Structure 1
Amino acid sequence: MPNGTAGEKNARDLADNAPVWHPASNRAGALQHAPGPTVILTSAAEIMPKPIDWLWLHWLPRGKIIILAGQPGAGKTTQALSIAATVSAGGLWPDGSRCTVPGTVLLWSSEDDYHDTLVPRLMAAGADLNNIRFVDRVADETGELSFFDPARDVQLLSAKLSAIGGARLLIVDPIVSAVAGDSHKANDVRRNLQPLADLARDHGCAVLGVTHFRKDSHGTLPLDRVIGSQAFGAVARVVLVAAYDEAARRGVLARAKTNLGPGSGGFAYTLEESSVCDGRITTSVVRWREQVRGPARDILGAVEPCDENERSEREEAAAFLADLLADGPVATKVVRKEADGAGHAWRTIERAKRDLGIEAEKRGSTWYWVLPAVDSVSSVEPTEDRHDD
C-alpha cells in the first residue's frame, strides 16, 4: 500500500490515541482500589532507629519476650514474683540498681493460688499490691465468665491494656500454656507466641514467660534444656536459666541467651522463709546474693548435682586447689589460669572450692582464694560467696 493512504492514516491515528497502561502507584489511594490482598513494602529510610528500652539493664527488655527456665524446686515463680515486686514498687534489682519507673504488673498463673501463695510471696518481696493485677477471667458479650486462656485471649488482653494505659511487665506462668498446638513443634510455638510478641511490642511491655527444664537434660547446653521446641528460645530475646542446690541452700540465675547485650553472667540467690500478715502466714522469698561470672553452663554446673565421672573430676580439682593454695592466698585470675592449664573445667573448680570451704577475700581491688586454715590479714574484706576479677 502506498504511503499516505487514508487507511494508513487511520491506523496511525488509532495508535496515537490508544490508552497507555501504567503500573499502579504505591500510594495509599492505589492500595484502596487493589482487587485483593497485597504486600506492603516499607523503605528502611522511613524507619526511625531507637535504642532498646530496658526494664532492667541487659536483663529485661521492654517490648520483648523473655524466658525464665529452670529445674523443679529452683524457685522460678518466686524469682518472677521478686521481679514483679521490684517493678511494682520501684525497688532494687539484684545488681543493686533501682527500677526508676515503677508501674503496673500483670500476672497470669495456672499453677498457684492467689490467696495462699502468690499474694503472700508478693508481700514478702515488698511489692506494691496496688500495682499488681491478676489476669483472671474473660467476660463475653452476655456477661458470662470463663477463665483466661493465654492460647486464645491475648488479643483481648491487649485491648484491656489499651484501656488501662498499659503495663510495664506481664508474667505468664507457665509460658507453654500460650501454645494451643504441640509445644514441641516449632511452627506451633512460633505461631502461638506471636500474639504475645505483638502485645509486648505494641504496649512496650516486657513479657516474662516461666517454664521448666527438660528431664534428664543436666550438663547439656542451657538453651537446649528449655522444655518443648527450641522455638521458645528462638522467639525470646533473652533466656534466663536457674538451678538450686538444696544441700547448700544456694541457687544461681544466669543468662543463657540474649540478642541485645551481654550474654553471660548471673546472680546467686537463696530461698528463705518469711512471715507476712503479722506472722500469721509463712511464705517463701528470694534473697539475691553476689554476682557470678562465666557462661550459663558453668554457672549452673556449680550448683547442680554431678554424676560419678564428675565426682571423680571434682575430687581431682579439690586436690589441685589444695596444692595450689597450700602456701597462701592466690589471686582468682591466677587460679583460673592455672586451672585452665591443668585441664580443669571452671565449674568443677567452683564445686571443689565449695567442698573445701575455700573463701574469697578482697585485698585492694584484687580477689584472692584462701583455704580455711589460712589466716587473713586485717586489710582483707571477707565474703562467703564466689567472686571473679
Structure 2
Amino acid sequence: MANGAIERGASFLDDVAAKRIADAMDAQAQPSEVGLICATDLKPEAISWLWGGWLAAGKMHVLGGAPGTGKTTISMGLAATVTTGGRWPDGTRATAGNVLIWSGEDDPADTLIPRLALSGADLSRAYFIADIREGNERRSFDPARDMEALRRKVADIGGVRLLIVDPVVSAIAGDSHKNAEVRRGLQPLVDLASSMRCALLGITHFSKGTGGRDPVERLTGSLAFGALARVVMVAAKHQTEGEDGRTVRLFCRAKSNIGPDDGGFEYDLHQAELDAHPGVFASSVLWGDAVEGAARELLATADATGDDSEGGTLADAKRFLADLLADGPIPAKAIRADADGAGYSWATIRRAKEALHIEPVKQGMKGGWVWRMPWQESAKVLKNSEDAQQKEVSTFEESEHLQTLSDGVEVEI
C-alpha cells in the first residue's frame, strides 16, 4: 500500500513537471506581441519643472565644464535650493524636497556636506548613496545590479526631487566613449528618475582641445551623454578679469529639447569657514546677473585669451593707457571702446592695466566701473576719453573745466 502511494505521488509530480515544461515550450513558440497605445487614450501633460526651463522632473540633465569652473559647487548650490525651497538664480521659488547624491570623486564629510552647509542647505533632506551590504561584505554601488534596491530606498525616503551623479561617467561600467555602452549604463538611472519624478543631474568635464566647438560636443566621452540629456548646461570662466577685477564666470544653457536653449547667469565662487565648525572651509556659489545669447558664443568669449600679437605690444598698450588716463579717471566702457578703435585686444589692455597698477573703482550704487591711475584718488571722473584729450583753457574761454588743487579740493575757474 505504501509503495503504491509513493508511486502514485511520484507519477503526479512527473505529470505536473511535464505540464509546466509543455506550457513553457508553448509560450516560447507563441510569437511576440507588441503593445500599442492610441494617442486618444493619452492626455497631454505639461512639463513639470523644478526650475522653469532648467531642471525638469523625471528628465535627465548634464552639467559640463572645464576643471576649476566649480561644477560640483554649483550642483551643491542647486541641491541646497531644493532642500530649503529657496530661490533659483532667476528669483523664482523652488518647491522643497529631498536630494539624493551619488559622488565618485568627493568625500561627503570633508567636501560635499561643508559645501551644502555653506550654501544654506537643510541637511536633513540631503542623502548620499553609500556602499552595498551583502551579508558581511560591502561593495560599491553598481547601477546595473542595484537599481531596484535603490528604487526601494528612494520610495522609503519619499519626496526626492533631485538626483545628482558626480561624475556621471561613474554610471558607465564599460567604455564611456561607445554610444551603446553609455546608453546601456545610463538607462537605469534615466528610468529611475522618470518613475520617481525627480530631476537627474549628471556632472561631467569638457574634453581637451575642443574650444570653439558646440558645447554639447565638448562633453567628454560619447555623444550619448548629451543626446540622452533633455537639458545640457555648461559652466565657464573668463581668461581675463571683469571690470571690477574679479574673475567672470558663466553658467549657460547649451541645449534643451523641452524649453529655451540659450541664456544663463553670471556667478562667482565664495570661500568661507563654517560658523558651526571652526577650521572647516568650503565653497559656495554666488549668483549674479542674467546673460543673454547662445552658449557657444558666450563660451567663445570666455575662452578667448588674446595675446600681444593680436593687438599691439604690451609697451604700446601701457603708453596708450597712461596717455588716456593722464587727465583723470575714465569709465571702463569708454576705455574699451577706445582700445577697440585703436586696434588693441582687451586681453592686452588688461595686462597693461596690471602693469601700471591702474585701479578699477565703482562709482556709487548705480554707477559703472572707472579706471584711474594710483595717484588720482580725488580727481574728477571724465565722461569719456575725448575729455582726456582736451587741453587746459584760459579763463576767457567759454568751455571751462574743473581743476584739482593741491589740497584735493575741486574748484571751478
**What's the TM-score, normalizing by structure 1?**
0.72
Structure 2 residue matching 1:270: 3-state secondary structure: strand
For the aligned residues, what is the CA RMSD?
4.0
Structure 1 residue 57 and structure 2 residue 52: aligned?
A: yes
Shift of 1:183: 1.0
Change (3 A) 1:371 1:86: same
The equivalences for 1:121-160 within 5 A come to 121-140=115-134, 142=135, 144-160=137-153
- Amino acid across the alignment from 2:300: G
Structure 1 residue matching 2:233: 3-state secondary structure: strand
Aligned mates of 2:185, 2:90 — CA distance in 1: 33
- Amino acid across the alignment from 2:305: C
Partner of 1:281: 280
Contact 2:240 2:350 in 1 (8 A): no
Partner of 2:325: none
Partner of 2:158: 165
Aligned mates of 2:102, 2:312 — CA distance in 1: 42
The structure whose Rg is larger is: 2
Aligned mates of 2:312, 2:70 — CA distance in 1: 26
Structure 2 residue matching 1:162: 3-state secondary structure: helix
Structure 2 residue matching 1:58: 3-state secondary structure: coil
Aligned mates of 1:48, 1:361 — CA distance in 2: 56
- Amino acid across the alignment from 1:271: L
Contact 1:66 1:238 in 2 (8 A): yes
Change (3 A) 1:59 1:314: farther
Aligned mates of 1:94, 1:314 — CA distance in 2: 39
Shift of 1:196: 1.3
Contact 1:150 1:177 in 2 (8 A): no
Partner of 1:178: 171
* Equivalent of 2:109 in 100, 115, 118: 115
Structure 2 residue matching 1:95: 3-state secondary structure: coil
Post-superposition CA distance 1:242-284 (Å, at most 9, x none): 1124763331111110111111111111112111134321111
Contact 2:103 2:165 in 1 (8 A): yes
Aligned mates of 2:311, 2:88 — CA distance in 1: 36
- Amino acid across the alignment from 1:265: G
Contact 2:182 2:224 in 1 (8 A): yes
Partner of 2:298: 299
The equivalences for 1:1-389 within 5 A come to 35-99=30-94, 101-140=95-134, 142=135, 144-245=137-238, 248=241, 249-276=247-274, 277-306=276-305, 312=310, 372=371, 375=382
Shift of 1:361: 10
Q: Matched residue pairs, number?
A: 327
Aligned mates of 1:280, 1:371 — CA distance in 2: 38
Shift of 1:129: 0.1
Change (3 A) 1:92 1:239: same
Aligned mates of 1:349, 1:265 — CA distance in 2: 25
Aligned mates of 2:361, 2:301 — CA distance in 1: 15
Structure 1 unaligned blocks of 5 or more:
1-31, 323-327, 378-389
- Amino acid across the alignment from 1:201: S
- Amino acid across the alignment from 1:54: W
Structure 2 unaligned blocks of 5 or more:
1-26, 242-246, 322-329, 354-358, 373-380, 385-413
Shift of 1:159: 2.6
Change (3 A) 1:153 1:293: same
Instruction: Kindly report structure 1 stretches of 4+ aligned residues shifted beyond 4 Å.
Output: 328-332, 348-362, 368-377
Contact 1:267 1:289 in 2 (8 A): yes
- Amino acid across the alignment from 1:125: S
Shift of 1:376: 6.5
Change (3 A) 1:33 1:358: same
Change (3 A) 1:314 1:81: farther
Change (3 A) 1:349 1:160: farther
Change (3 A) 1:351 1:59: farther
Contact 2:53 2:259 in 1 (8 A): yes
Contact 1:271 1:286 in 2 (8 A): yes
Contact 1:68 1:208 in 2 (8 A): yes
